A and B are shown apart, each in its own frame.
Chain A
Amino acid sequence: MASVSIESIRKDYSLVPVLRNVSLSIADGEFLTLLGPSGCGKSTLLRILAGLEVQDAGSVRIAERVVDGLRPKRRDIAMVFQSYALYPHMSVASNMALPLRMRRLSALQRLPVLGRLLPGTAQITADIDMEVSHTAKSLGIGHLLPRKPGQLSGGQRQRVAVGRAMVRHPAVFLMDEPLSNLDAKLRVQMRAEIKELHRRLGVTFVYVTHDQAEAMTLSDRVAVMLDGELLQVAPPQDIYADPDNRRVAEFIGSPKINMFDGVVRERGLIDVAGSTLTIEADAITGTALSLGIRPEAFYLAERGGQGTLTGSVRMIEHMGSDLFVYLDLAGIDQPLIARLLAERAPHIVPGQTLHVGVRPERILLFTRDGRRLRPDRDSSKGAVTPFREVAR
């Protein structure tokens, strides 16, 4: 078991910055997910943690020990790769036994024929075989041990890859998009299994994915990465409901959050797309702000007016329990997307004029350069600085 701390990591690939000053600390036993689109540097960060790549600046500690100069083998970590990276010419049993053989047997003892004759080899090999078969059984792949990876299905290979990582009881598990090669159904199932595995082993997991659903369902905390920077590290519900940053708000959530530009009319009111919305903060009149409103924050309103937006229905998507309604607002190119309960909104047709309301506390406010403005509920009304700017 071990905590992991990453301090000011920088990495460039031929002068293109891939990681810019990334710092992160991960608690012992935590499940942390690095979430970001492909090319954002999350896999590079994981490889630096593993010791497979060397950072240009900064340092990595695992279990309070600086591991920067240490080779991957000495870092007490195991990694599951997206491609599984099983050795195709070895049986499942040999694949899983290899990390133990490399650690416990001397170079002499590992020799093909001679090694078996050396004292101690037989006992160690027997122990390894026992541990491998024990781990394999716990993953439900005990019957696959004699097979080659080529004879296994995707899900089985995935389990073997996890087994190979598990068998030597590492302090930290690194997983690089381990589910992205599986079909949708299997992915959901393996997701649950990984969650269960983390609960059972209780060790630190660092998980890399571009899939929000995986990040949200698995993690204790999610670290959102964009363009080589960590934008926010927080529990999944906070990342979704309380983003620090416009880019985080836009990256998380499907369908995407609705963003509007608005100008503060007076204290507590803002003009948006020809309507006026109530906001839960004092603001200086005339300030240009961006508003983020999640699709499910809207409700169907009887009539227009203050606190509602009005538009004509462009398109409706039925999702079973919910409806996604696309509204064209006056003067805005992007349609507004509202997620409404199907039973509450039964008779909507394209072309119809619709009013949707939104409660002030569901509106996320951002400055025009993308920083989040949180209403400072503690400060007395009318204070000189009505907003607390959130430092990234």
Chain B
Amino acid sequence: MNAGISPSRLPLSVALLRHAVLLTTGTLILLPFVWMLSLSIKPPGEIFRASFSFWPDKLYAVENYTKALSETPLLRYMGNGVLVCTMILLSQILVCAPCAYALAKLRFPGRGLLFGLVLVGLLLPHQVLALPLFALGHQLGILDTYAALIFPYIVSPFGIFLFRQFFKTIPDDLVHAARLDGVSELAIVWRIMLPMALPAVIAFSIFSLVSHWNDLFWPLIAVRDQSLMPPSLGIMAFKNEEAGNDYGPLMAASTLVVLPLVIAFLAAQKWFVEGMTGGAVK
């Protein structure tokens, strides 16, 4: 971003100000996580002490983490999360890519109107649809199953919008060449457009995985069976029923839930950058 500008050429005051702003923002964002980590290794007595210290007097990590893992089916929750998030992401790409292709590259009457509807979908917060979706789930008889957790997210207006914007930047000549080469329309989506849109696919995947891994609102409505609960809902259940004011194990569980996301993001970051440059030099 600012790689081209060497910091030494900026006036010192500007550089200081910029770093101050960045540090403040970074601290504000990181502080809750640091606090969570800190609490997860403290014994109950130290958690509500008036003075704050990051490192506990008595390390209580093993006890907290053991309790988090043993007294709740945390691994089960996380397994549910992986399953649900993967299914959501796969079905989203499966649905969004052809829709986006049609909106970006095919000419048909009503295309503008359909794209307008996608934008309207983008504006609607998910909570607005919760009640109708709940009723629909009930009608279909899928409440309290994995399907209930997945079905509201299969069509993602954001995914359609993002892919459509990216597909639009791919020259029409490529589509024409593919048609002449005998590639069918759906094959154009999977074999030509989607591989070229890899940066968009990765960006969308991160967005989708993070938001559904952390989603609490819909799972709270859709499932009651403990064995189906995704991580965030599981932790909440854990807090209410098992832990009471036992914040140590609760924070340990939260840390464990966040961990896969952090690891996945760090791993994907390298890919993400590769995807970006791969697209740029085409």
Residues of A within 8 A of B (CB): 47, 50-52, 71-73, 77-79, 81-83, 85-89, 98-99, 102-103, 149-150, 164
B181: interface (CB < 8 Å): yes
For the complex, is B125 an interface residue (Cβ under 8 Å from A)?
A: no
Q: Is the CB of A50 within 8 A of B180?
A: yes
**A6 → chain B, closest Cβ, in Å?**
18
Residues of B within 8 A of A (CB): 171, 173-174, 176-183, 187, 192, 195-196, 198, 278, 281-282
- Which of chain B's residues have a CB closer than 8 A to the CB of A85? 171, 173-174, 176-177
Across the interface, B176 reaches (CB within 8 A) one of A52, A88, A99, namely A52
The answer to whether A72 touches B179 (Cβ under 8 A) is yes
A47 to B195, CA, bound (A): 26
The answer to whether A150 and B176 have CB atoms under 8 Å apart is no
User: Assuming the A-B contacts A83-B171, A85-B171, A87-B192, are A78 and B180 also in contact, with contact meaning beta carbons closer than 8 angstroms in the complex?
Assistant: yes
Task: List chain A residues, Cβ under 8 A from B196.
Answer: 87-89
Q: Which residues of A contact B180 (CB under 8 A)?
A: 50, 52, 72-73, 77-79, 99
- Chain A hits for B182, CB < 8 A: 73, 99, 102-103
Complex Cα spacing A99 to B177, Å: 10
Contacts A85-B171, A88-B196 known; A47 to B183 CB distance under 8 Å? no
What separation, in Å, do the CA atoms of A85 and B179 have in the docked complex? 12
Min distance, Cβ B198 to any Cβ of chain A, angstroms:
8
Which A-chain residue is minimally distant from B197 (CB atoms)? A89
Q: A99 near B173 (CB under 8 angstroms)?
A: no
Q: Could you jot down 30 A-B contacts, CB within 8 Å?
A: A50-B180, A52-B176, A72-B179, A73-B179, A73-B180, A73-B182, A77-B180, A79-B176, A79-B180, A81-B173, A81-B176, A83-B171, A85-B173, A85-B174, A85-B176, A87-B174, A87-B177, A87-B192, A87-B196, A88-B196, A88-B282, A89-B195, A89-B196, A98-B181, A99-B180, A102-B181, A102-B182, A102-B183, A102-B187, A149-B282
CA A389 to CA B149, docked complex, whole Å: 80
Question: Measured between C-beta atoms, what is the minimum distance from A332 to chain B in Å?
Answer: 45
Do A50 and B176 touch (CB < 8 A)?
Answer: yes
Across-interface contacts of A83 in B (CB, < 8 A): 171, 173
Query: Using Cβ atoms and an 8 Å threshold, which residues of chain B touch A89?
Result: 195-196, 198, 278
For residue A268, give the distance in angstroms from its CB to the closest CB of chain B: 55
Alpha-carbon distance between A51 and B182 when the two chains are bound, in angstroms? 12
A71 to B181, CA, bound (A): 11
Contacts of A51 in B (CB 8 A): 179
Closest to B179 in A: A72
* Residue numbers in A under 8 Å from B281 (CB-CB): 150
Which A residue sits closest to B176, measured CB to CB?
Answer: A52
CB distance from A262 to the nearest CB of B (A): 48
Q: In the complex the two chains form, what is the Cα distance from A75 to B163 in whole Å?
A: 31
Q: Using Cβ atoms and an 8 Å threshold, which residues of chain A touch B278? A: 89
Q: How far is the CA of A50 from the CA of B196 in the complex (A)?
A: 25
A88, B179: Cα distance in complex, Å: 16
Nearest chain-A residue to B181 (Cβ)?
A99
> Which A residues touch B183, using CB under 8 A?
98, 102
Pick from B171, B181, B182, B196 the residue with the most CB of A within 10 Å: B181
- Nearest B residue (CB) for A47: B176
**In chain A, what residue has the closest Cβ to B281?**
A150
The interface residues of chain B lying within 8 Å CB-to-CB of A87 are 174, 177-178, 192, 196
Please indicate the chain A residues that have their CB under 8 angstroms from the CB of B171 in the complex.
83, 85
Complex CA distance for A88 and B196, rounded to whole angstroms: 7
Q: Taking each of B182, B187, B192, which has the highest tally of chain A beta carbons within 10 Å of its own beta carbon? A: B182
